[in-house]
Amino acid sequence: MKEFYCGSLVPGCEWHTRAKEEAEVMRRAVEHMRQTHGETVIRETMIEAIRSRIEKVRDAA
């Protein structure tokens, strides 16, 4: 599992997502940036900033 906390990029934002694949986390994060933060253009620098903040989730077992 991979997860992304928006607050690591946008201070004060409590939104986060978790998915099995990094690509799905990226898709959700980009959609969140568009809908919640009003980003109309997602530049490569934004993609890299999100990707660098995606963390692997340790299994809870």
Q: What is the pLDDT of residue 60?
A: 61
Helix/strand/coil for 56:
strand
**What pLDDT digit, counting tens, does each position of 1-54 carry?**
999 999 999 999 999 999 999 999 999 999 999 999 999 999 999 999 999 999
Residue 40 phi/psi, 5-degree rounding, is -90, -30
pLDDT for 58: 82
pTM: 0.89
**Residue 18's beta-bridge partner residues?**
3
- With a cut of 80, say whether residue 61 has pLDDT above it: no
